[in-house]
Amino acid sequence: MKKEIQFEHVKKSYGDTEVVKDLNFTIKEGERLILLGPSGCGKSTILRMIAGLENITDGNLYMNGEKMNHVPSGLRNVSMVFQNYALYPHMTVKQNIVYGLKVQKLPKQEMENRLNSVMEILQLRGLEDRLPKSLSGGQRQRVALARATVKRSDFFLLDEPLSNLDAQLRESARKELVKIHEMFNQTIVYVTHDQIEAMTFADRIALMYNGELQMLDTPDNVYHRPANVFTAKFIGSPSANILEADYRNGWVHTGNQAFEVNDSWKEHMNKQSFDDILFGIRPEHLELSTSPMSNGLEGRIKYIENLGKSCSIYLEADGQEMIAVSENGSWKQGQSVYVRPQSDRIHFFNKATEKSLGHPAERTETNQTIEERRVLV
Ligand SMILES: Nc1ncnc2c1ncn2[C@@H]1O[C@H](COP(=O)(O)OP(=O)(O)OP(=O)(O)O)[C@@H](O)[C@H]1O
């Protein structure tokens, strides 16, 4: 049976408050699925339902093809790592790591083999006899990862496992996690609110907001083909520009000004016109110039944020606010500028539903395999 996790109309309420709404999706065998979203959107609750630490209010949860709604946590073949490590303080590093295997009554030789391999991967050699209190935060987190890894369970669940580490340690821990995943090919479900972590580690991202799944797709598609305004704005920094517009005969009118889209967009929009739509463009997909450009909008710089490597340029065009990014440090507040949206990077959304009107030459998740995606990362 496949190591899949399947949600079928899964809901979770606390009292009258529904915190997870009608989840319907499948986490594929061996994939790294990231549950991403702002604080309070229900990520941890979903993870805890998979782990069996939280009851399901409605719907069904299947793992390995079996209904799991009422199966106790200990029988679900999961291992879990939390943000706060939760190591046993009175046990040494080695005792912490093998404790679960002892409970499982694993043969001694097998236990030693697993311990040795994980000590090597997670660079814990030399720390075997130390107590958790004598370890640094990064070392404790690696012990917690090691303890979960040695179980070699079908499902590996991680709840913000790296959020207590500094940026450098996070990056190296992510690499170690990838190594562990390549060795044991577990199905990984990983909760974070950090989009960089999601973009770099995920095979697919499940983006949540307010208990609802907003988009489930590869990082590439979540970034380039956002399914709705929330996704466009949540992914990417600075956040995507969303402007009110009309679309008529291949031209996007943002007020008094307009620019023409390319032929594939014209074909995609199928000769229709739309009043009152939302036009989206990421700051990094706006070209800036001091002189007029064809298909550019005229605007004025309101202020500039210098980030060192690049500047965020806040400007106003046609009475609407936009952000552009530029590596050129010579822009001046109050300056008159021209901005041109890159035609193959634009997005349109229905104003009422905030859902995407699609993209030309749409690429769906089904024609990009996990292996293809990992080559791209
Ligand atoms: N035991 C509980 N009783 C009542 N409400 C709860 C309980 N646990 C969680 N909630 C609520 O459910 C919602 C989702 O919580 P959850 O912890 O899943 O969010 P999250 O996305 O993981 O957030 P964070 O990133 O801040 O950890 C929140 O509004 C939270 O207050």
Give residue-wise pLDDT tens across range 139-164: 898 899 999 999 999 999 999 988 87
User: What's the pTM?
Assistant: 0.90
Please check the confidence at residue 103 and state whether its pLDDT lies above 70.
Answer: yes
**What local confidence, expressed as pLDDT, does residue 176 receive?**
85
- Closest listed residue to residue 222, CA positions, set 238, 206, 237: 206
**What local confidence, expressed as pLDDT, does residue 369 receive?**
53
**What local confidence, expressed as pLDDT, does residue 1 receive?**
64
Please check the confidence at residue 14 and state whether its pLDDT lies above 60.
Answer: yes
14 lines ligand 1 (CB under 6 A): yes
Say how many Å lie between the CA of residue 21 and the centre of ligand 1: 13
147 lines ligand 1 (CB under 6 A): no
Which of 71-85, 204-218, 224-238, 275-289 has the weakest average pLDDT? Answer: 71-85
53 lines ligand 1 (CB under 6 A): no
CA angle 40, 46, 49 (to 5 degrees): 130
Asked whether the ipTM of the predicted complex exceeds the cut of 0.90, the reply is yes
pLDDT one-digit tens code per residue, 45-62 = 999 999 999 999 999 999
- Of the pLDDT bands very low, low, confident and very high (cuts 50, 70, 90), residue 354 is very high
pLDDT one-digit tens code per residue, 108-119 = 999 999 999 888
Average pLDDT value for residue range 331-340 = 95
Please check the confidence at residue 367 and state whether its pLDDT lies above 70.
Answer: no
**What local confidence, expressed as pLDDT, does residue 281 receive?**
97
Say how many Å lie between the CA of residue 349 and the centre of ligand 1: 30
367 lines ligand 1 (CB under 6 A): no
Please check the confidence at residue 105 and state whether its pLDDT lies above 80.
Answer: yes
Please check the confidence at residue 364 and state whether its pLDDT lies above 70.
Answer: no
* CA of 46, closest atom in ligand 1: 18
- Of the pLDDT bands very low, low, confident and very high (cuts 50, 70, 90), residue 373 is very low
Say how many Å lie between the CA of residue 66 and the centre of ligand 1: 27
Please check the confidence at residue 283 and state whether its pLDDT lies above 50.
Answer: yes
Please check the confidence at residue 182 and state whether its pLDDT lies above 50.
Answer: yes
**What local confidence, expressed as pLDDT, does residue 246 receive?**
96
Please check the confidence at residue 69 and state whether its pLDDT lies above 60.
Answer: yes
Average pLDDT value for residue range 122-148 = 91
42 lines ligand 1 (CB under 6 A): yes
Please check whether residue 64 is in contact with residue 77, taking contact to mean a CB–CB distance below 8 angstroms.
Answer: yes
Please check the confidence at residue 374 and state whether its pLDDT lies above 70.
Answer: no
**What local confidence, expressed as pLDDT, does residue 376 receive?**
41
The residue to mutate among 10, 14, 80, having the most atoms of ligand 1 within 8 angstroms of its beta carbon, is 14
d(CA 6, CA 175): 27
pLDDT one-digit tens code per residue, 304-323 = 999 888 999 999 998 999 99
* CA of 15, closest atom in ligand 1: 4
Say how many Å lie between the CA of residue 29 and the centre of ligand 1: 27
Report the percentage of the chain scoring pLDDT > 70: 95
* CA of 42, closest atom in ligand 1: 18
**What local confidence, expressed as pLDDT, does residue 362 receive?**
56
Say how many Å lie between the CA of residue 149 and the centre of ligand 1: 26
Average pLDDT, the chain: 91
**What local confidence, expressed as pLDDT, does residue 59 receive?**
98
* CA of 17, closest atom in ligand 1: 5
**Protein residue with least CA distance to atom 12, ligand 1:** 19
Please check the confidence at residue 365 and state whether its pLDDT lies above 60.
Answer: no
43 lines ligand 1 (CB under 6 A): yes
**Protein residue with least CA distance to atom 24, ligand 1:** 39
18 lines ligand 1 (CB under 6 A): no
Say how many Å lie between the CA of residue 69 and the centre of ligand 1: 20
Structural domains for the chain: 5-229 (3.40.50.300), 238-361 (2.40.50.140)
3-state secondary structure the chain: CCCCEEEEEEEEEECCEEEEEEEEEEECCCCEEEEECCCCCCHHHHHHHHHCCCCCCEEEEEECCEECCCCCHHHCCEEEECCCCCCCCCCCHHHHHHHHHHHCCCCHHHHHHHHHHHHHHCCCCCCCCCCHHHCCHHHHHHHHHHHHHCCCCCEEEEECCCCCCCHHHHHHHHHHHHHHHHHHCCEEEEEECCHHHHHHHCCEEEEEECCEEEEEECHHHHHHCCCEHHHHHHCCCCCCEEEEEEEECCEEECCCCEEECCHHHHHHHCCCCEEEEEEEECHHHEEEECCCCCCCEEEEEEEEEECCCCEEEEEEECCEEEEEEECCCCCCCCCEEEEEECHHHCEEEECCCCEECCCCCCCCHHHCCHHHHHHHC
Say how many Å lie between the CA of residue 371 and the centre of ligand 1: 33
**What local confidence, expressed as pLDDT, does residue 371 receive?**
53
Average pLDDT value for residue range 116-132 = 90
Say how many Å lie between the CA of residue 41 and the centre of ligand 1: 7
- Of the pLDDT bands very low, low, confident and very high (cuts 50, 70, 90), residue 37 is very high
Please check the confidence at residue 341 and state whether its pLDDT lies above 80.
Answer: yes
